[in-house]
Amino acid sequence: MFFLKLVLRNAFRARLRSALTVLGLVIALVAFGLLQTVVSSWYAGANAASSKRLVTRNAISLVFPMPLYYRDKILAVDGVRAAAVINWFGGVWRDEKSFFAQFAVDSPHFFPMYPEFRFRPQQWQDFLRDRQGAAVGRQLADLYGFKVGDRVAIRGTIYPGNWEFNVRAIYEGRDETTITRQFYFHYDYLNEFIKQRFPRAAINAGTFAIEVDDASRVADVARAIDAEFANSLAATLTETEKAFQLSFVAMIETIVQVISGVSYIVILIIFAVAANTMAMTARERLAEYATLKALGFGPGFVARLIFSESLLIALIGAAAALLLTPVLAAGFFDTVGKSIFARFQVAPSTYALQIVAAAAVGVLAALVPMVRSARVKIVDGLRHVG
């Protein structure tokens, strides 16, 4: 009890210095947590991918289509349970800043492969019956205010013209990890337009979504699909849904790595500040530590005193940061994050990293002052003027 009281009094003897050190720790740890959340949010879609789904695209590039009849051949491959068309639309709604992903899909075959998307039965039937029907994810609907019955006009870029859709369904996510920021409409609606404007480009698909019977066979099924079209005019590349999504993240992977690196640099900076604070504190108290030794307290007691003081300050900063991080993350997401990220939630691993980082700062900042004060001679310490 005596030791704890001594640590508490020493830690806050220089109140302004201790408060500023704690504040610096809080700012650094919150920044670290938010930057780590930014990184994890970029990978949210890939991490939520199913282990039983594959994506087949043209082996040359995504911009090159594949014949629609590939779907029937894919369905004939052993181990394939279902296959559906996915075409990226890439239109502009309102303006370029109001971006959201738009896909033309083979709806009756596509959505049964994605049980994480939950429809109300009546809305699902209305969507299937309407040739211009669209299904909007809950996150997207909340972001831009889409409601069932809305008429949505989108200006085509890849497929020129003014396209109009009827919002017939707003689907929910199975849980909070499900991303629902997509806008889906019927592939047949798109294909009819292509037949009229670009007859030679009709009955083509951008990608195929594939569901396999057994997750352990995805690699074998992927190889079998690619082997089926190896000598065709449009050779294919089949990969897991997660690998397919990570290929898009790879386009900005350097930026993501920089953000991750900056988060650790922030911790190093605050470590330098904390180490300097503890060094100043130990230097000012050399005479006190010498007095403790003269009274019979050993070098280990002095070392534990400095170590505990440093760790206490670090953990106080960590506690405050853990309380502030989710609040600030939610505020960031509500103000600007919704237009960038589908979800922005601080992962439990991020909280763990914050605690580890704070503890590491507390321990490392105390090492040099701890060793120096423990080794100081009584005479030299009493002679020292802080």
Nearest CA to 24 out of 309, 369, 346, 361 is that of: 361
Could you tell me the two tokens for 271?
Answer: 């470590």
* pLDDT band of 298, cuts 50, 70, 90: confident
Nearest CA to 288 out of 190, 381, 164 is that of: 381
pLDDT in the model for residue 237: 93
At 316-339, the pLDDT tens digits run 889 999 999 999 888 877 776 665
Contact 325, 354 (CB under 8 A): yes
Q: Once rounded to an integer, what is the mean pLDDT over residues 158-167?
A: 90
pLDDT in the model for residue 289: 63
pLDDT in the model for residue 335: 74
The residues with which 92 forms a beta bridge, in sequence order, are: 155
Contact 278, 366 (CB under 8 A): yes
pLDDT in the model for residue 360: 86
Residue 378 pLDDT > 70, yes or no? no
Q: What is the DSSP letter of 159?
A: T
Q: Once rounded to an integer, what is the mean pLDDT over residues 329-354?
A: 78
Helix, coil or strand: residue 165: strand
* pLDDT band of 372, cuts 50, 70, 90: confident
pLDDT in the model for residue 184: 97
Quick one: residue 161, left, alpha or beta (phi over 0 = left, psi -120 to 50 = alpha)?
left
Q: What is the DSSP letter of 97?
A: T
Contact 247, 115 (CB under 8 A): no
Q: Is the dihedral of CA 367, 372, 375, 376 positive or negative?
A: negative
Residue 1 pLDDT > 80, yes or no? no
C-alpha–C-alpha distance, residues 301 and 2, integer Å: 12
* pLDDT band of 253, cuts 50, 70, 90: low
Domain boundaries, the chain: 2-44+252-383, 60-234
Which residue blocks in 43-171 are alpha helix, DSSP H?
A: 44-47, 70-75, 107-110, 121-129, 138-144
Contact 334, 363 (CB under 8 A): no
At 105-132, the pLDDT tens digits run 999 999 999 999 999 999 999 999 999 9
pLDDT in the model for residue 340: 64
C-alpha–C-alpha distance, residues 293 and 199, integer Å: 93
Beta pairing, strands 133-137 & 207-212? unpaired
Could you tell me the two tokens for 30?
Answer: 């919150």
DSSP string, 213-270: S-GGGHHHHHHHHHHHTTTSSS-EEEEEHHHHHHHHHGGGHHHHHHHHHHHHHHHHHH
**Average per-residue pLDDT in the chain?**
83
Contact 187, 104 (CB under 8 A): yes
Could you tell me the two tokens for 222?
Answer: 């992927």
At 44-68, the pLDDT tens digits run 666 667 789 999 999 998 888 899 8
C-alpha–C-alpha distance, residues 1 and 302, integer Å: 16
Burial of residue 236 (number of CB atoms within 10 Å: 0-12, 13-18, 19+): buried
